[in-house]
Each structure stands twice: as C-alpha cells, then as structure tokens.
Amino acid sequence: MFFNSLAFAIFLPTVFFLYWFVFNKTKSAQNALLIIASYYFYSCWDWRFLFLLVFSTFLDYYTGIQIEKGKSEKSRKFWFWLSIIVNLGFLGMFKYYNFFASSFSDLLNSIGIKASPILLEVILPVGISFYTFHGLSYVIDIYYKRIKAEYNFVDYSLFVSYFPLLVAGPIERATHLLPEIKVKREFDLEKAKEGICQIIWGLVKKIVIADTCATYANAIFDNYTSMNSFSLILGAVYFAFQIYGDFSGYSDIALGVSKLFGLDLLRNFNYPYFSRDIAEFWRRWHISLSSWFRDYLYIPLGGSKGGLWMKIRNTFIIFIISGFWHGANWTYVAWGFINAVYFLPLLLSNSNRNNMDDIRLKFDFDSAKVMMSILYTFLLTCIAWVFFRARTITDAVEYLKRIIVNKDFSFQYLDNERYSYEILLMIGVFVLIEWNNRTKLEPLSGKRSMLKIALAITAVIAFGTFSDYKEFIYFQF
Amino acid sequence: MKQFLIYITKVLLITILIAIVLDGLYTYVFLQSKNRGKIEDVFNSKTRNYDVVILGSSRANNHFDAQMFQDNGLKAFNFGMSGGHLFEASLLLKLMVERKYEIKNVILEADLNLASQHEAEGISALFLPYIHNSKIIKNHFAGKENFNELYYIPFYRYIKYETKIGCRETFFAAIHKKTNQLDNLGYRGLERHKNANMKNNIAKLNPLPHNKYYEEIKNICKANNINFIAVMTPMCENVVGMNYFDKVKKSYPEIHNYENVIVEDKYFSSCGHMNDTGSKMFTAKILKNFFKK
C-alpha cells in the first residue's frame, strides 16, 4: 500500500475516523488502533515479514528492559550486544549477505581461485533499514542512560511500527517520539490543516516532480551510451529532482499524515538544493539519517575532536557506511566516498559550520556569490547522484566521461517519446515555489491557502505521471 | 473536529470541481483537433467518399501505400494504426459508417492481430476523450473491465492514459500542432535498417477461431454494402511458427494469404514490417489482384 495509491486513500480516512471517533477515549485505545493499522499497512506488502517486524520489536523491547534492570555492567553489555548483533544480523542477512558473498567470490575468481557463491533466495523486507535503526537508537540510548526503558509493549511497538514512518522513515528517536506516544492526543485543528497541506505538497513532489523526472532520467541513464552531453547533464539534474521529490515527498506525506493523528515526526528535509556547501547539504538532506549516524556512529568514534587522521578516518567511515546503508551495491559506497571527499576539505578548514544562517539575497555581490555557491553545491551533488543512479561504478564514470568528450549540446528525442528538455520549465517553476517558501515547512499553508491547495491539486491531476507508476525509491532501502 | 470535516469536505469538493473542469476543457480541445491523428480525424469529420479504406495494425499502416491506389484512380486512405488491434479497427470503421462515409472497399490486415480480442491500450485511449460524445464509442468500451471508472469518474481517463491524452497531447492539440500521421494518405513507409532484427518466433501464437472484432468488421461491411477484403501480409524469412498463417486460413478461409508474396530480407525493415520498397511491391500485387490495376 503506497501513500499515492487508492488503497491508502481508503485506509487513511478509515483509520482517522476510528482514531478520533471510536478509539478516542484513552491513550491506550489510540495506540492500540494505530498498532493494528500499522501492522495491517505493513502486511499489505508481505504479511510474512510481519513476524520479523514483531520479533525485532520484541527483541529491542525486552533487551531494553534487561539493560536497564541489569545489575552488573557485564549483564548490561550482554543484552546490549545481543540486541545490536541480532538487529544488524538480520539487516546483514537480508540486505547485504548476497552482496558480500558474490563480491568475495568475484575477488577469489579474479585471483584465479574458482569460487561460486552460495546465495540466499530472499527478498528484502520493506522498511528493514528504517525499523532496525529505530530499535538500535532505542537500545543504544538506554545503554548510555539517555532514556528510560519503555515497559508498555504497545507503546514501544507503536514507536517502532507506526505506519507513516515504518517503511521509509523518517528515522525517529525514542527521545522524540515515545513521549508523544505516552500521552493521549487531542485533536488540533491547525495541526490537522497543516498536515493536509503537507500531504498535498508531498503528492505534488512525488507525482508531478519525481515520477515525471523519473521517466526522463530512466530514458537517459538506461541509454547513456547514445546520449549527447546536453542530455546527460539533464539526466543527472532530472535524477537529482527525482530522488528529492520522491523521498522528501514521502517524508512530507508521512509528516502530514502523522499530524492528522496529533503526532509530530522529525523533519527530514529542509530544501537541500538551496545549500551553500556540502556540509549544509547534509544538514538539510535526509536529516533523520544524517543525525542518526552523527549521534550513534560519528561522535562515538571521536567525531572531529581527534587529530587529523582521526578526522579523515571518521569522515570516510560515516559517509561510506551511510552510502552502504542505502543498498548493497558498490555504487552506493562510491556515492558515500565522493561525499566524504566533498566534505573533508570543509571539515579540515573548519568551515563545515559556515553556513548555519538563513539565506537572504539582495542585489549585491555577496548575494551573487551565494547563488554561485548554491549552484556549485548542486553541481557537486548531481555528480555524486550519477554514481547513486548508475548500475555500476564503470557506468557512472563512463556517463561523466561522455558528458565531457561528446560535446554535442543539441536536443535529443528520448525513449519515453519526449524531447530531453521538455520538463525544464516545470522544474524551474517548482524550484521557484520552493525558493519563495524556503522558511516554511511547505508552500501551501498560510495566506490564500485554499487557492494554493486548488493549484497544487490541479498540478497533481493535470501534470502528474500516473500511467508509468513508480513506487517510492527509498522503499528498497 | 466539525471545522476540520468542513475543511476536508471543501478540499474534496475542490478536487472534484477541478476534475470536472479539466475534463470539460480537455474534451473540448480534442473535439476541435483534426490534424494530430487518424482517430480524431475521423471523429471530427463529416461525410467522405473512399474507394478503398485500409484498416489494421502497423502491418497495414506500413504495408499499403495509399498513394499507389490514388495513382490508379482509386480514392484511398490508410487508416492502419501502429500498435492497434482489431478492437480499434472495428471502432474506427463504426465511426466512419456513423459519419456516413461512402466506402466501396475495406482492406483489412487480418493476421497476427487475430490472436487477440483485447484493446491496444495506447491506441484505444485515443478514442476516450470522445466517450461522452459518442454512443458508439461508449458501447464499444461498455464491456471493458474499467469502463465505469473511465466513463463516470471525471478526468479519470485523462489521468490513466496521460502519456496518450494527457496535458502534453492536449496542449499540442490546442495549438493545432500537426503530426505526420495523416501525411502520405496515412501510409508510413519504413526504411531498411542495417542491424534490424530479422528473426521472429510466433510458434506460441494461435488465431482465435471467432475473433469478435474481425466478425464485427465483416458484418459492418456486409450491412453497408462494402466489399470486404481481408489479407495476411508478409513476414520475413526467419520466422519460427510460420504455420500460424495456415491456421488462420483454416479458421478464416475468406482471408487471402499474402504472407509469402514478399520474402527476401532486403524488402523488410524488421521481421514483421516491410520497408518502403517491399510495401510498394506488395501494394502493386494487391492492386493487380483485387482491382485489376
């Protein structure tokens, strides 16, 4: 069941009605309903993986309590590592085992040792990377005594399985979401209206921007050897907007849906393509994942406090693991590596926290510099996205090489039966709208909200891509 | 909560209103369109006279050079549609009859398309803008699985088939941007490609014994005193399952088998489609055999 499906359009109002009109007496009733709804939502993909989700939930719930109750450090450590190993074990088995097995086999074959890997015939359970990270952050926080263990299984289950964030995040923290779950929610009209605006804007991003860009990006990336320089540049830009529209659109819908139930989730995107450097980009892109890695990996490794080598090591570790989190493919590792290369000079020159303020433009030289730095940062991200999107690293390198050597900047007719430049105007309008609303969560609320909603709905209906349906990219992660 | 329910009702009403307005707007544009495709050309036309009307899929569109008919004093037009099935050919003929076209002969390419009674979505979608303006189109689609959605939900058909009749196509229709579909009297000659695939496997294909839309076309012709000529058109040499054409002949003895009149690869653009040279040779044979020209 996708957020942009008819099934979800029936599911959401049904749960909303039951939540506020039938199960609205107590917090427990509200949570119980959301749990049932979440498990139903998840089982729509594959009910068999529900057992894995329930097991993972129970494991972290139980080990969390045992860590808190543990009288000796040894016992606390035992339950802590048990949770970490089992959680990462499942993630590793489902997501990474086949990749490592075949990569190892390739390595042996390359040095003349014949090997054929034993591969598992398993499909990746949807959302496993997200709910595993929910559980891990909870257990780690208890171990380091940042939070108390949760003794109410229903409340804890809801924290892990809450359907808007279950399959593609944002990756929530127990410190943030559990306190909200622990109290009965009262209906808040303004919050609900904000939620509706955010859902509609999320649909614009997904259906109008991401899915439309996807048809062009696919046509270009899948046939890159016959594309000219101009088309290849456009392909990278289209993919940049595809992945942004897709993932931030999903996050917007998740946040909006949550607001309908009186819950606030962590903001996941903050107009990342308006970043002035890569450090700022990573403070604005997939914020819940970046901050997760910062808090649970980068800082425990020593962060940027150590010497030069430690800084370099930690930067590469966090970016490469972050890349690898996205999928079992060397292209994601390369994407992480490239971002580490981008980020490192800023860290070493202590300029990684230069652009913390809001962007304000005037008609002066400084503003022109800001615009140039935004464009430069976007260019860098587009280069990195080529690695993220390409099938192999070789393809990515060839793609970039062809941009330089081809030198043909004419318009091309693509496989999707459209000219390569056709959606530039639409992207331009989208960027302009986002730019003018960059201080807000989304552009639809505020003055003349109904008119803006009407325009957004018109855009979804008239300009959306429906026939070539695409699921959300981040579901595969 | 009451205020929120009013708010959400407003949003829903706005959505419905937008869908109705857009539906009306798009339909209006398609009703004005005449130079973008064969379907709108027929739908938005009035009485015409033809000596020969050619119907079928791309194997009609690329194989019958209508100009050669014209050069021999026969007013002809090739209404073959690339990707089309007999479902669309039948509906197009129904529309022609409704518009009181005076047609003396219909040449129907009837071979591989006899294996299916399904509509070709990409082509059948082009009829949908007119579904509320034509009983014939409505009735033709009535038996289809998603008919109710297509007919009753405003703008649904434009969303479902947005690549064919969505905003892009509507925009081009609104500015009367011409396509080449109606050029050369509807015929589209193909070039010979050096690396074209000259192999095909149709071993698993079987003609339906009573193809509903083939029978429909035959009956329309009979009812309107139109001479009905059904032909199987050529395929390249390397086809596995060539006995398909024998099976067609067995089920439909009235269909003329011209599959093997052109065989050499040099006359083909791909295995199922002759190039311009091959098509001209083939058309000459048809003219000679059926029209004594």
State the DSSP code for B254. Answer: T
Query: Mean pLDDT throughout A257-283?
Result: 94
Residue spans of alpha helices (H) in A222-364: 229-260, 278-284, 287-293, 308-326, 330-348
Nearest-Cα residue of chain B relative to residue A197: B11
> Chains A, B: CB contacts under 8 A, how many?
51
Q: How far apart are CA B66 and CA B279, in angstroms?
A: 11
Question: How many residues make up chain B in this entry?
Answer: 293
User: Which tops the pLDDT comparison, B143 or A81?
Assistant: A81
Question: Quick one: which of A34, A84, A30 has its CA closest to A59?
Answer: A84
Q: Which A residues 194-223 touch B at CB under 8 Å?
A: 196, 200
B146 touches chain A (CB under 8 A): no
pLDDT band at A111 (very low <50, low <70, confident <90, very high): confident
Q: How far apart are CA A416 and CA A277, in angstroms?
A: 34
Is residue A286 flagged as an active site residue?
no
Phi, psi angles (nearest 5°) of residue A350? 55, 30
CB B251 within 8 A of CB B209: yes
Both tokens assigned to A134: 């929910």
The residues pairing with A400 across neighbouring beta strands, listed in sequence order, are: none
Question: Quick one: which of B59, B77, B190 has its CA closest to B113?
Answer: B59
Q: How far is A305 from chain B (nearest CA, A)?
A: 50
CA B243 to chain centroid, in Å, comes to 26
CB A42 within 8 A of CB A51: no
**Inter-chain contact A467–B163, Cβ cutoff 8 Å?**
yes
- Single-letter code of the amino acid located at B182: L
pLDDT band at A81 (very low <50, low <70, confident <90, very high): very high
Which among B1, B155, B167 has CB closest to A20? Answer: B1
The H or E element that residue A107 is part of is helix A97-110
Question: Quick one: which of A160, A158, A162, A137 has its CA closest to A147?
Answer: A137
pLDDT at res. A27: 94
Q: Which residues of A touch B7 (CB under 8 A)?
A: 189, 192-193, 196
Q: How far apart are CA A394 and CA A204, in angstroms?
A: 34
Q: Share the mean pLDDT of chain A.
A: 90
DSSP three-state, residue B208: coil
Residue A169 zone, left/alpha/beta (φ > 0; ψ -120 to 50; rest): left
CB A25 within 8 A of CB A32: no
Q: What percent of chain A has pLDDT over 90?
A: 68
Pairing of strands B238-240, B199-201: parallel
User: Which tops the pLDDT comparison, A168 or A139?
Assistant: A139
Q: Which B residues 88-127 touch A at CB under 8 Å?
A: none
pLDDT band at A306 (very low <50, low <70, confident <90, very high): confident
pLDDT digits (tens, 9 = 90+) for A403-414: 999 988 999 888
A193 touches chain B (CB under 8 A): yes
State the DSSP code for A171. Answer: -
Query: Mean pLDDT throughout A415-424?
Result: 87
Question: Quick one: which of A238, A244, A257 has its CA closest to A200?
Answer: A257
Q: Which A residues 422-441 touch B at CB under 8 Å?
A: 422
Please state the three-class secondary structure of B64-102 as a single string.
Answer: CCHHHHHHCCCCEEECCCCCCCHHHHHHHHHHHHHCCCE
Cis ω before A170 (30° cut-off from 0):
yes
Q: Which residues of B touch A207 (CB under 8 A)?
A: none
**Inter-chain contact A187–B167, Cβ cutoff 8 Å?**
no
pLDDT at res. A471: 55
pLDDT at res. B122: 87
Helix axes A211-221, A229-260, angle to 10 degrees: 150
Both tokens assigned to A409: 């900047």
Report the predicted TM-score, pTM, of the whole model to 2 decimal places: 0.88
pLDDT band at A472 (very low <50, low <70, confident <90, very high): low
Q: What Cα–Cα distance (Å) separates residue A21 from each residue in A17, A24, A162, A261?
A: 6, 6, 20, 12
Q: How far apart are CA B201 and CA B243, in angstroms?
A: 11
Q: How far apart are CA A454 and CA B15, in angstroms?
A: 7
B161 touches chain A (CB under 8 A): yes
The residues pairing with B257 across neighbouring beta strands, listed in sequence order, are: B232
Buried (b) or exposed (e) across A12-51, using 16+ Cβ within 10 A? beebbebbbeebbeeeeebbbbbbebbbebbebbeeebbe
Both tokens assigned to B17: 């209103």
- Tokens 């399959």 map to which residue? A167
Predicted confidence pLDDT, tens digits, chain B (293 residues): 899 999 999 999 999 999 999 999 999 999 998 889 999 999 999 899 999 999 999 999 999 999 999 999 999 999 999 989 999 999 999 999 999 999 999 999 999 999 988 888 889 999 999 999 999 999 999 988 889 999 999 999 999 998 899 999 999 999 999 998 899 999 999 987 777 777 788 888 888 988 999 999 999 999 999 999 999 999 988 888 888 888 999 999 999 999 888 888 889 898 889 999 999 999 999 999 998 87
Question: Quick one: which of A56, A54, A294, A3 has its CA closest to A169?
Answer: A3
Buried (b) or exposed (e) across B172-209, using 16+ Cβ within 10 A? bbeeeeeeebbeebbbbbbebeeebeeebebeeeebee
**Inter-chain contact A193–B4, Cβ cutoff 8 Å?**
yes
The H or E element that residue B268 is part of is strand B268-270
Tell me: pLDDT of A262 over 90. yes
The H or E element that residue B257 is part of is strand B256-257
State the DSSP code for A222. Answer: T
Q: How many CA atoms within 13 Å lie on the side-chain side of B27?
A: 18
Query: Mean pLDDT throughout A136-142?
Result: 94
**Inter-chain contact A464–B11, Cβ cutoff 8 Å?**
no
pLDDT band at A45 (very low <50, low <70, confident <90, very high): confident
Both tokens assigned to A182: 């622990």
Tell me: pLDDT of A364 over 90. no
Other CB atoms within 10 A of residue B124 CB: 24
The residues pairing with B199 across neighbouring beta strands, listed in sequence order, are: B238
Both tokens assigned to B202: 């149709």
Tell me: pLDDT of A146 over 70. yes
pLDDT at res. A442: 93
Q: How far apart are CA A377 and CA A284, in angstroms?
A: 13
